[in-house]
A = this chain, B = another copy of it.
Amino acid sequence: MLVPGKTSGRAGIADVARLAGVSIGTASKALNDRGQLREETRARVQAAAEQLGFIPSSVATSLLTGRTFTVGLIMTDHHGRFSLPVLHGAEDALGWAETLAFVCDTRDDPIREQHYVRSLLGRRVDGIIVAGRRAEARPPLITRAPVPVVYAFARSADEGDCSVVTDEEGGAVLAIEHLVRTGRRRIAHVTGPHGHASAIARVAGVSRALRAAGLEPVGDPWYGGWSEVWGRFAAAALTREHPDVDAVFCGSDTIARGVADGLRESGRRVPEDVALVGVDNWAPIAEECRPPLTSVDLNLREVGRQAGRLLLQAIENGHTPGVHSVDCQLVVRSSSAPASGRT
């Protein structure tokens, strides 16, 4: 039942106070368990608030305290394959509904990005998270931002900023160690475009892990694209040039799926003849692959969680510069089962 009281049509604390027969200040104290009030008064006020469906305006308290319990989340990959898990992680860290996130999709347009930043700043967000896939370190969002900024997944070029990234090199090491452990010896690496930062990091991990295991790589890394077509092509070429290959580590699940199809069509069995590991652990690809694909999970949700935690920390205690790294995780499916007769 609406009370004709205030302009907005919504009950304000003044309406609650009037209904309970107390002053505004007293009502506030009753609702926030502050001050010294008789229990009876407190209950009366709370009943009144309940009856009116009173929800306090955080706009007013924000104005008062200077904190909005609001952050901006800027994403640059509009399909959300990378930003969404980051958002989920951030939500975890920010507490369900404790702090809410304005999500802004820049569509990789710097003008739009600046618009959004200005808008966020005008709304007095407590901080900003910049999420999104980008091979290289990205230019800082803004110089001398009046609120903390944390970069998630895409790291800032400015070392004084705070970034959270995945340890892609470590992820590659994980994959190779797994293959070696399951008895593979002739391991090839098929990946994305030459010069792509992710490709570079993973190649480095592959070299390191192979060296540590005392193995020679099977040819140079195969650079191409991130597509299935490339994977199929590479599989055909690979089996032709290196018939003894017994495992392929792929720079993405998409490539790996192409490789799986290519191998099957060249008469190789997966995993019996050749084991396969991808990267991304992207369910619709990895799980539908024939056979289901072992994959390196980039742990993006944890990246988001860390970013959220660091942001909160920066808001409360000040800036924590540096690059924070999150480990990858290997998700084992059947594509890398040990070949029969091996360890």
Residues of A within 8 A of B (CB): 7-10, 53, 55-60, 62-63, 66, 68, 70, 73, 78-80, 84, 87-88, 91, 96-98, 100-105, 112, 115-116, 118-124, 146, 227-229, 254, 257-258, 283-285, 288
Contacts and interface: CB of A to CB of B under 8 A. Distances in A.
B84 A100 contact: no
A232 B79 CA distance: 27
A63 B55 contact: no
Given A123-B59, A288-B254, A101 B103 contact: yes
A18 to B, nearest CB: 19
Given A8-B66, A66-B8, A118 B288 contact: no
A68 B124 CA distance: 12
Contact of A57 (B116, B124, B258): B124
A316 to B, nearest CB: 15
A256 to B, nearest CB: 12
A118 B146 contact: no
B118 A97 contact: yes
A56 B122 contact: yes
A122 B12 CA distance: 11
A101 B100 contact: no
Contact of A288 (B87, B103, B228): B228
B124 A97 contact: no
Contacts of A102: 70, 100-103
B105 A57 contact: no
A103 B122 contact: no
Say how many copies of this protein the assembly contains. Answer: 2
Nearest to A123: B58
B96 A88 contact: no
A103 B87 contact: yes
A122 B57 contact: yes
A305 to B, nearest CB: 14
A115 B87 contact: no
Most buried by B among A98, A105, A285: A105
B87 A55 contact: no
A104 B99 CA distance: 11
B68 A78 contact: no
Contacts of A70: 102, 123
Given A59-B62, A84-B84, A102-B102, A119 B97 contact: yes
27 contacts: A8-B66, A9-B146, A10-B146, A56-B122, A57-B63, A57-B122, A58-B124, A59-B124, A60-B63, A63-B63, A70-B123, A79-B283, A80-B80, A84-B84, A87-B103, A96-B112, A97-B104, A97-B115, A97-B116, A98-B119, A100-B123, A102-B103, A227-B288, A228-B288, A229-B288, A284-B284, A284-B285
A12 B284 CA distance: 50
Contacts of A101: 102-103
A219 to B, nearest CB: 25
Nearest to A91: B105
Contacts of A60: 63
Contacts of A97: 104, 112, 115-116, 118-119
